[in-house]
Structure 1
């Protein structure tokens, strides 16, 4: 009996001092990017694609952003693209830069592939094609309201719909009365079925029958959607704040804060025939019709780019047709670093200025 008591006491002592992070069984240590509060050498990436500009080169992350996926969502990440001109890594936030090329934010304000900032208002509760190419279709659903005495709707992008190959994907912001940063307001579908993505920074979902991935860039309300070889999209859900409402006189009701998406697209492959509200601005020789130097340069085209639903490609100018895509259309040469350009200046406040070309 004496030895049995000693054995039990010893066992309890071992349990009391067990590693609280072991989970009951030994396992591989978490990757450096998942460990907060620790410093590691900058990460390196080897470009092994013989078709890339930087083939055969090791690209190192700079000290300012040593990690591809930093543990803190507030830290800048290291971005490496083996098709970049200088074969150098750059530091970027993983959330949308609303002043950068490919952005669509606010009451929708876009920055086109030509570097020109413009507004496209669309219409409340209707859908419009942002990008339509032979192998990729991206639509947006607009929400909004018309304040008393105004002649048009104030609108925001509430959802995005993607079509590629035979697949569909969508993400949307829920309707919510009172905004709480700690409550996730994103909903997803894949191939027309609801999709649950676990909350938590760096939580990732990958499709089993395509290359599509979705990664959370914060505990909630922020993601990066990747379709390798086609596009990367950073998305953030935000409300219309009381300050925005006061400044712009939106007359936001008390039961809806109009949660909407801030988005930035990084296109990796577009054809010279690409269409869409945003897509057309990437075409070579595109002559942007918006007025320069005005407070709100407006891009028309509602009649050309309106679709019947979030996941349809039936607008007048839509060209999505994956079954007929033979790759014969010339691809555009896209500089991935251009997404870091800030398309504003102190003098213009971003009013229709050109950042490149």
Structure 2
């Protein structure tokens, strides 16, 4: 039985990997100007036409890499937040992490408009401030699961008001703000992606390394404390990693919602709740889901293009409501 289960999990990881590869190829090939697989490989070998080469190198590749990194970062961030807070309704966009990162980006762009490389750090600080505020309020108010969600919504609203205040005072701080608020990949450049990529990769690796600590913490604070885990320190560390992942993604992708909520639930059904499997599965699943949604946003209403955040909200909103009803049935 154990071997069969392990074999099933391996097959599902293989399917997730294939989904990432397929989503990547679709993202590179499809858009306002479609490229065939043959043209794609010709361009990569330096033999393609100039126009097609420019589209691939300066538009499609940065956009695809951005989708893969942002999807992986947001999904893993959501899985960690849900595990640490023991709340399946928690996600970066729901508990104020995304809006905190957005406020950090807005302030950074207002004060240092040319300092692209420090935007991910500003996003992390804003996201981390958001998650610490939510945790503090929830602990003071009793730390129930619904309290966490309500506190997150309150903090998110406050941070969103802060973003609007910054934009009122410095209107040019976030050019294309509507795309930033909705979440979109249309204007992503390789420079902006690369500045956040290092932080995302490092945090993904650290999250995987700390998988055992996440498993112990998932047993409950008292049990984890009795097993010798420094609960408060580990919780803050894991939340800092989750905030860094979400903040780095927000710094170039905008306030994308629902990736961090939907993907962890999907992946748990596929590979289980063991933290290292969950983190690896969420990295693959998040990358595939966001990239496929971005492809859909490009081609569904061609020649018009929707911001990918709209597609995610259309899909994620009903999922969130379904999750609420499921919890009501389980805990009437």
Same fold at TM > 0.5: no
Choose between structure 1 and 2: higher strand proportion: 1
Bigger RCO of structures 1 and 2 (CA < 8 A, at least 6 apart): 2
Which of these two proteins has the greater Rg computed from alpha carbons?
A: 1
TM range (shorter): under 0.3
Choose between structure 1 and 2: higher helix proportion: 2
